[in-house]
Amino acid sequence: MGFVSVLAFAQRLAAERLQPGEPAVDATAGTGVDTLFLAQKSGRRGTVYAFDIQQEALDRTRSRLGGQTGLADVRLLPLSHDRMEEALDPGHRGRLAAVMFNLGYLPGSDQALVTVPETTLPALDAACRLLRPGGVLTAVLYPGHEGGGREAACVESWAQALPGDAFEAITYRFVNRMADAPYLLAVTKRTRLH
Ligand SMILES: C[S@@+](CC[C@H](N)C(=O)[O-])C[C@H]1O[C@@H](n2cnc3c(N)ncnc32)[C@H](O)[C@@H]1O
């Protein structure tokens, strides 16, 4: 049996932690795959915040959610993810079970509207503050497009600098594929200081 894809591994990490009723964030809604996944896991009593700077992405996400039942309250937010903290209900701050980032550009859309470290890194910092102990942040990195290599390197440096007594950080990567293939970086907030 082969290893699961990078995207599936990110969802697996989130699914292991996100309990019904818990809040979660999709930091890059795109076509809504992760938003729908989080909304299913969080369920009727839960809340999912989905951020994207492109209205087209939020529209695609809304249509993916359409007709589905048993979903969380999904808030589609036309905001940059570095404004995550202010966009959350105060009661959800420090309570997030999962925050998912899928960096890069919207498939089939303007490749100039791409995530950039100048907003990605503040958003990752905010996500770390907003997670509950035991919660997870996932970031799929795409070194293959222009600027993507710089962004992936910035995110890796950011993760390496996280204090080890408060966070654990890993990568999940196929090492015998092309060097610029997408890979996952994940961070979990430790439940107690070591
Ligand atoms: C790779 S796509 C996400 C794919 C998505 N997870 C899916 O299921 O299709 C990246 C998305 O990030 C969005 N984006 C770029 N910069 C952003 C920012 N500063 N804040 C929020 N979203 C951003 C883009 O508009 C794009 O839709």
Per-residue pLDDT of the chain (194 residues; tens, 9 = 90+): 999 999 999 999 999 999 999 999 999 999 999 999 999 999 999 999 999 999 999 999 999 999 899 999 999 999 999 999 999 999 999 999 999 999 998 888 877 789 999 999 999 999 999 999 999 999 999 999 889 999 999 999 999 999 999 999 999 999 999 989 999 999 999 996 55
Pocket test for ligand 1, best of 75, 106, 125 (most atoms within 8 A of CB): 106
Interstrand relation of 47-51 and 73-77 (parallel, antiparallel or unpaired): parallel
Atom of ligand 1 nearest to the CA of 33: 8
Ligand 1 neighbours, Cβ below 6 Å, are: 28, 30-34, 51-54, 57, 80-81, 102, 104-106, 113, 115, 119
Domains held by the chain: number: 1
> Would 1 be classed as within a structural domain?
no
> Would 194 be classed as within a structural domain?
no
For residues 130-147, one letter each, b for 16 or more C-beta atoms within 10 angstroms of the residue's C-beta and e for the rest, the string is: bbbeebbbbbbbbbeeeb
Burial class (CB in 10 A: 0-12, 13-18, 19+), 176: exposed
The residue type found at 192 is: R
From the CA of 114, how far away is ligand 1's center (Å)? 7
- Which range of residues forms the domain containing residue 61? 6-189
CATH of the domain at 94: 3.40.50.150
From the CA of 192, how far away is ligand 1's center (Å)? 32
